[in-house]
Amino acid sequence: MKLSMAAVASLVLAFVAGTAGAVTFEVTNNASTTPGGQRFDVEYGADHAKQVLSEASSFIWNVFNQTGARAADRRPVDGGGAVTLVVVDDTDGGIASTSGSAIELSEGYVARFTGDLKAEVTGVLYHEATHVWQWGLQDYAAHWWVFEGVADFVRLKAGYAPAHWVAPGQGRSWDGGYDVTARFLDYCDSVIKPGFVGELNGKMKDSGYSDGYFVEILGRSVQDLWNDYKAKYGG
Ligand SMILES: *[C@@H]1O[C@H](CO)[C@@H](O)[C@H](O)[C@H]1NC(C)=O
Ligand SMILES: *[C@@H]1O[C@H](CO)[C@@H](O)[C@H](O)[C@H]1NC(C)=O
């Protein structure tokens, strides 16, 4: 069989795109003898978690506008190229955390949770996977609220916002973090400019967050945008 030059070129392109997306997902239950670890195995499962992390990553790359040729804009995965989830036996009462490409889920939280565990753990994984892929975390201590707001924005867009979150328009300031910031980012991204959160993420790569990014992307100050957002929902 003789390949045309165009066919060879497209094979080469397919290979490059494949390697750019060659991320693996590993899930380990380090707490399998605890109540939460057992509940995780029975009601969620490591294979399901792996699938969810893979789907969440694709979802996040879409939100961040890092698909196709722009896959090169993604934040690289640590070490051997695996995003990992470990169910851990912790005693600090937390839910989950992420450091680099390593996510930990607390068995205690899984044990305590009442309600739809599958939706809850999936929502938590979308939030934590966002921390794996988002740029600018070197600035987390100074502007934690934006990083947590973007992670909850992704969870919201994916359809996993829990019932206890604030409603749109609630909260005292854009920098409240988590659900408060997520609702505001959703207003900026849905009402003002689709793709805003992806652009914001890209700008944070080198030196983290600046209020100036709202002006650069949306042409308005973050305070003006927040005032309009509050007014839209009755103040
Ligand atoms: C999970 O358990 C393995 C084996 O004991 C250990 O090497 C690893 O550090 C543990 N991971 C976490 C996140 O606790
Ligand atoms: C994604 O990035 C490309 C290249 O920078 C840009 O042209 C496009 O408008 C972006 N899409 C969105 C939705 O922001």
* 158 has a pLDDT exceeding 70: yes
Q: What is the distance in A from the centroid of ligand 2 to the CA of 198?
A: 9
Q: What is the distance in A from the centroid of ligand 2 to the CA of 65?
A: 6
* 120 has a pLDDT exceeding 80: yes
- Comparing 12-16, 46-50, 70-74, 145-149, the range with the smallest average pLDDT is 12-16
* 19 has a pLDDT exceeding 90: no
The ligand 1 atom nearest the CA atom of 104: 13
Assess whether the C-beta atom of 117 lies below 6 angstroms from ligand 1. no
C-alpha–C-alpha distance, residues 112 and 184, integer Å: 30
* 52 has a pLDDT exceeding 90: yes
What is the value of pTM for the model shown?
A: 0.91
Into which CATH architecture does domain 1-133 fall? Orthogonal Bundle (1.10)
Which one of 64, 65, 192, 200 would you pick to mutate in the ligand 2 pocket, going by the greatest count of ligand atoms within 8 A of its CB?
A: 65
Would you call 175 helix, strand, or coil by DSSP?
A: helix
pLDDT band for position 6 (cuts 50, 70, 90): very low
Q: What is the distance in A from the centroid of ligand 2 to the CA of 64?
A: 9
Assess whether the C-beta atom of 177 lies below 6 angstroms from ligand 2. no
What are the b/e assignments for 1-10, b being 16+ CB within 10 Å? eeeeeeeeee
Assess whether the C-beta atom of 97 lies below 6 angstroms from ligand 1. no
pLDDT band for position 21 (cuts 50, 70, 90): low
Nearest CA to ligand 2 atom 10: 65
Q: What is the DSSP string of 54-118?
A: HHHHHHHHHHTT--GGGGGGSPPPSTTTEEEEEEE--SS---EEEETTEEEEEHHHHHH--S-HH
Segments making up each domain of the chain, as ranges = 1-133, 139-235
Assess whether the C-beta atom of 65 lies below 6 angstroms from ligand 2. yes
Closest CA to 42 of 110, 103, 102: 110
Q: How many CB atoms lie within 10 A of CB 190?
A: 12
Closest CA to 229 of 201, 190, 202, 195: 190
pLDDT band for position 173 (cuts 50, 70, 90): very high
What are the b/e assignments for 72-89, b being 16+ CB within 10 Å? ebbbebeeeeebbbebbe
Assess whether the C-beta atom of 170 lies below 6 angstroms from ligand 2. no
**The pLDDT value given to residue 80:** 73
C-alpha–C-alpha distance, residues 219 and 192, integer Å: 10
* 7 has a pLDDT exceeding 60: no
Residue 153 one-letter amino acid: F
pLDDT band for position 76 (cuts 50, 70, 90): very high
pLDDT band for position 4 (cuts 50, 70, 90): very low
With vertex at residue 74, the alpha carbon angle to CA 70 and CA 77, rounded to the nearest 5 degrees, is 145
In whole numbers, what is the pLDDT of the chain averaged over residues? 92
List the structure tokens of 185. Answer: 């980012």
Nearest CA to ligand 2 atom 3: 65
Q: Whose structure tokens read 């990992």?
A: 84
Shortest-distance ligand to the CA of residue 203? 2
pLDDT band for position 14 (cuts 50, 70, 90): very low
**The pLDDT value given to residue 17:** 36
Averaged pLDDT, 75-86: 92
Q: How far is CA 169 from CA 72, 86, 221, 234, in A?
A: 36, 36, 18, 8
